[in-house]
């Protein structure tokens, strides 16, 4: 293992009521407190093992911030950072995927990087936001979203190349952790929820 601690990024735990819905930055679903607490304990254990500061950066959306709130209760510093948010799906937010017109989905697939689903945020904007984000000095632990993690990974591995829909990987599992070191991402084996 490198002497540089790098950055550990967890995807938030599975939110309540998300099945079949388009869930992004505009849909702030809760996570069951047990799942939030369980992930907070895993983060706490890794920080202890790696001797990292008790500081966590989280997306302000509840599914991430609730994990950080547990850590804050245990004496950690919690920093909510809007740059860690998920893609904004605009008018699609909270709607069942099957109710979104096929023509709209097809338009997104055809212009995957530049199209703004539901009039929200384009993937290009998320790629720039995630790829350009730099943690504050001394920050090594992050709780964010699957889309943000994929965008960060894409920029680290592909640079400025725009993805097409067929290239885009599947999101990490809920509560999965990735280690990012010197701009590259390496997946860590996910732990069960």
How confident is the model over 101-150, as pLDDT tens digits? 999 999 999 999 999 999 999 999 999 999 999 999 889 999 999 999 99
Give the burial class of 47: count Cβ atoms within 10 A of its Cβ; 0-12 exposed, 13-18 middle, 19 or more buried: buried
Q: What pTM was computed for the model?
A: 0.91
Query: Per-domain residue ranges for the chain?
Result: 7-137+161-187
Long-range contacts of 122-129 (CB under 8 A, 24+ apart): 123/87, 123/151, 123/163, 124/162, 126/87, 126/151, 127/151, 127/154, 127/155, 127/162, 129/83
The per-residue pLDDT for 181 is 72
Q: May I ask the CATH architecture of the domain 7-137+161-187? A: 3-Layer(aba) Sandwich (3.40)
């Amino acid at each position: 293992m490198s002497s540089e601690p790098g950055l550990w990024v967890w995807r938030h735990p599975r939110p309540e009521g998300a099945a079949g819905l388009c869930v992004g930055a505009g849909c702030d679903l809760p996570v069951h407190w047990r799942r939030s607490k369980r992930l907070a304990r895993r983060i706490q254990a890794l920080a202890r093992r790696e001797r990292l500061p008790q500081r966590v950066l989280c997306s302000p959306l509840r599914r991430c911030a609730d994990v950080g709130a547990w850590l804050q209760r245990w004496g950690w510093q919690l920093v909510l950072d809007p740059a860690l948010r998920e893609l904004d799906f605009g008018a699609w937010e909270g709607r069942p995927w099957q109710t979104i017109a096929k023509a709209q989905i097809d338009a997104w697939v055809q212009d995957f990087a530049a199209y703004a689903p539901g009039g929200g945020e384009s993937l290009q904007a998320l790629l720039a936001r995630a790829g350009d984000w730099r943690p504050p000095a001394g920050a090594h632990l992050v709780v964010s979203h699957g889309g943000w993690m994929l965008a960060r990974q894409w920029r680290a591995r592909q640079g400025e190349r725009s993805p097409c829909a067929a290239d885009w990987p599947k999101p990490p599992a809920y509560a999965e952790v990735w280690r990012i070191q010197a701009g590259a991402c390496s997946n860590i084996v996910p732990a069960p929820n």
